[in-house]
Amino acid sequence: MNTTPTRLLIHGASGRMGQALLRLAAEDSSLQVVAAVVRKPPIQRVIDGIPHFAASELAGAPAFDVAIDFSLPEGFDPILALCAERGVGLVSGTTGISDQQQAALTAAAARIPLVWATNFSLGVAVLAELVERAAAALPGWDCDIVESHHVHKKDAPSGTALTLGESALHGGAEPRYASLRAGDIIGEHFVQFTGLGERVELVHRATNRDIFARGALHAAKQLRQRAPGQYRVRDLLGNVIEA
């Protein structure tokens, strides 16, 4: 068991998720953020003792054990390439990545341990299982997934809605999607199964984005110990889910 702190590179550090990751990592003595990467050259090079780099300076980042990426699809390829080149783990929560980027992720998993997930919350991992079970138990019922997020969210339907849709498909349902963008909603996913004269409704509401950041930090600690491969949130948060 390695007792030295896990050295992290945070990619997308100035964003909503990046800021939550930096704040929570600072409270955890088993983690050390050694680099924060933002899209444009930073005005301040060192903030709270953490060196900041522009995306264009990624190659010059110091040694790290795991990168955590919550950026945008255009930032995804360079951070995946850097982790593959250095042989270190990657935790990515960036949504809206293309099929080509998914394929590159799968290829990189032959060399490094990684996890890409549309949602790092425990509640959504459980919701996905419930959706699959409901879909299997309610054949022929309509299945609708309605997701709501803040007005700044770029992709729609959300990555989480698509993940829940895959669970519904596995269970035999044919999901339809609807998206709402309003105010500062952190994330709500509502899955409705409708039969004749009755409805089953399953819902998850995120009220604080720290849940995603905590899940990603926990996954990073776990990933440091793992062999190359593509892991699911459930594989890495298993002891939290079962606790």
Neighbouring-strand partners of residue 114 = 90, 230
The answer to whether 40 is annotated as binding is yes
Judged by CB under 6 A, which of 93, 113, 157, 171 binds ligand NAD? 93
Taking CB under 6 A as the criterion, the residue among 120, 141, 193, 231 binding ligand NAD is 120
Closest to ligand NAD by CB, 70 vs 190, is 70
The footprint of ligand NAD on residues 4-43 (CB under 6 A) is 11-18, 37-39
Stretch of 114-122, 139-147, 172-180, 217-225 contacting ligand NAD, by CB under 6 A: 114-122
Helices (H) and strands (E) in the chain, counts: 7, 12
Q: What is the CA radius of gyration of the chain?
A: 19
- Kind and range of the H or E element at 9? strand 6-11
Verify whether residue 189 is a known catalytic residue: no
- Closest distance to ligand NAD from the beta carbon of 179 (Å): 13
Asked if 163 interacts with ligand NAD (CB under 6 A), we say no
Q: Per CB under 6 A, does 162 bind ligand NAD?
A: no
Does the annotation place 117 within a ligand binding site?
yes
Taking phi over 0 as left and psi of -120 to 50 as alpha, with beta for the rest, 53 belongs to beta
Among 71, 148, 163, 222, the residue binding ligand NAD under the rule CB under 6 A is 71
Q: Would strands 6-11 and 66-69 be described as parallel, antiparallel, or unpaired? A: parallel
Under the binding rule (CB under 6 A), the answer on residue 157 touching ligand NAD is no
In whole angstroms, what is the distance from residue 157 CA to residue 23 CA? 29
Residue 173 · residue 143 · CB < 8 Å: yes
Q: How far is the CB of 232 from ligand NAD (least distance, A)?
A: 12
Among positions 95, 148, 167, 222, the unique one binding ligand NAD when judged by CB under 6 A: 95
Alpha-carbon distance 157 to 149, whole Å? 10
CB within 8 A of 95, min separation 6: which ones?
118, 155, 158, 159, 160
Q: How far apart are CA 162 and CA 172, in angstroms?
A: 15
> Of all residues in this chain, which one has the CB nearest to ligand NAD in the complex?
15
218 is catalytic: no
Give the interface with ligand NAD as residue ranges (CB under 6 A): 11-18, 37-39, 55, 70-72, 74-75, 93-96, 117-120, 209, 212
* Binding-site positions for NADP(+): 40
The residues assigned a catalytic role are 149, 153
